[in-house]
Amino acid sequence: MKRWIAAIALCLHLTSTVATPAGPGKRPNNFFDQTQRQMVAPIPGANVGTLPVRTFDTSSLGIDPKVKQFSGYIDDKGNNKHYFYWFFESRRNPATDPVVLWLNGGPGCSGLMGVFMQGPSNIKNGKLLHNPNSLTNEANVIFLDQPVNTGFSHSPNRVQSTEQSAKDGYTFLKLWFEKFPQYADHDFHIAGESYAGQFVPAFAREIVADRQRKIKLKSILVGSGLTDAKTYYPYYYKLSCGKANAAQAFVDANTCRAMEQALPQCVKLIETCYASKSNQACNAARNFCDPKIRSPFHRSGRSMYDYRKVCGTPGAICDLNALGYASYINQPNFLKTLGVQDTGRKYDYCNDDVVGEFRAGADGFRPHHLNIAEVLKANVPVFVYGGDADFICPVSGNQDTVENLQWSGKGQYNQAKFQPYMSKKSGQKVGETKSSKGLKFTRIHDAGHEVGWYQMDTLAQMYSEWFADVKSGKA
């Protein structure tokens, strides 16, 4: 599998070259075996102060050392699932600031990516750098490795769908708040990017469906998110052929004609998948749409993160290795401090076997975007945002998706007008935004997939404003 495809929060299920899932009775090579599972045994001396068992103080790593922080495992013993997370208290007021669960995508891309991209520290040239725009500036943040067998989370069992991931995620949250009750009365938000556009609304729906829930879910945030295949595939054609945001075509005229001719059948197959939700129908949509509509752009040599960039040129992100922090995490002392013993299990950004499991069920072609409407119906505010130059999860597709949602606020939201979105740092316009009835949508200019990669100060500003609006009831 090409590493540039297996990218941070990348909508990997859509690609045509992915790892093949293991057959019945077989375990993928990089899943935990019985010996590897010993790596999560408590490490003598790693538990510090009042931290519970299987919780590890990480302040000695030099990442915001003055902020209370810990990593560890939440064990769903009944299902033999063990979830790895890394938690940082807020830099501002941890006693009153909200708790945020941060999810990366993939599916199968580690939440630890968030620690070094949207979180308290970046790693450049093998050195830690303080991130002044961290999401932890105003929130206590849990960075979670999920589904199981992503990052350092592990289980002999497999997860193959967003629905199962959401059930597991809710189990994790209930157990986490039981283990750390001091945070249980805080306002709670779920945020994530890319394939987490599936996970975040599904997690939230699990919470709002529980009438006896104790978690104080206040909002969800979906950035550069995979939400709705039916709206994306027309934009894959438009972006590839210079008919949308892009000012130029990235494929030749004959290919564009073929894509245009195939598009109606692609959309029809996706609609059939949505209606039946069967593996057969959804795989038929994937097998037709991927090679005919999405793959031509892959051959253009352009970055899927930012279609303005040519792979191999300065500033182009096309390969996960460009992130440069897997080797930093895999230092033995680093792993030990995290609570991960060095027994052969190494950190990798994404697990291709998890990708294969989800791809086998065509999970990304299912109508998970309908969960956004269910969350809105439960009076939980929703914030959707993205960058203009994103090919992976086109922001215009997200705009179409939220405008098509069926809920009581649909009419008023669709009638709301876009307003300029201004950077407080520069005083310049950086995008457009609109909101009504608890739904907000923002598109950011000069940004690709993962807005924070391009404008971390803008991302931090958006989150700060959103948390304040939710708290005040303005959202």
Q: Which of 110, 121, 194, 396 does the annotation list as catalytic?
A: 194
Q: Which of 97, 390, 396, 435 does the annotation list as catalytic?
A: 390
Contact 440, 419 (CB under 8 A): no
Q: Which of 13, 82, 298, 449 does the annotation list as catalytic?
A: 449
Contact 162, 366 (CB under 8 A): yes
Phi then psi for 193, rounded to 5 degrees? Answer: -135, 155
Cβ neighbours for 201, distance < 8 A, ≥ 6 positions apart: 220, 222, 227, 368, 369, 371, 372, 374, 375, 382
H/E stretch holding 193? strand 188-193
> DSSP label at 73?
E
Integer Cα distance of 375 and 172 in angstroms: 20
Cβ neighbours for 124, distance < 8 A, ≥ 6 positions apart: 324
Residue 449 is a catalytic residue: yes
Integer Cα distance of 365 and 265 in angstroms: 15
Contact 136, 64 (CB under 8 A): yes
Q: Which of 217, 172, 167, 165 is nearest to 190 (CA)?
A: 217
**What tokens does 330 get?**
């895999």
**What tokens does 162 get?**
């967003």
Cβ neighbours for 236, distance < 8 A, ≥ 6 positions apart: 293, 294, 297, 391, 394
Cβ neighbours for 202, distance < 8 A, ≥ 6 positions apart: 162, 163, 165, 166, 169, 368, 371
The strand ranges marked E within 237-381 are none
Q: Which amino acid, 341?
A: Q
Contact 106, 12 (CB under 8 A): yes
Residues tagged active-site? 194, 390, 449
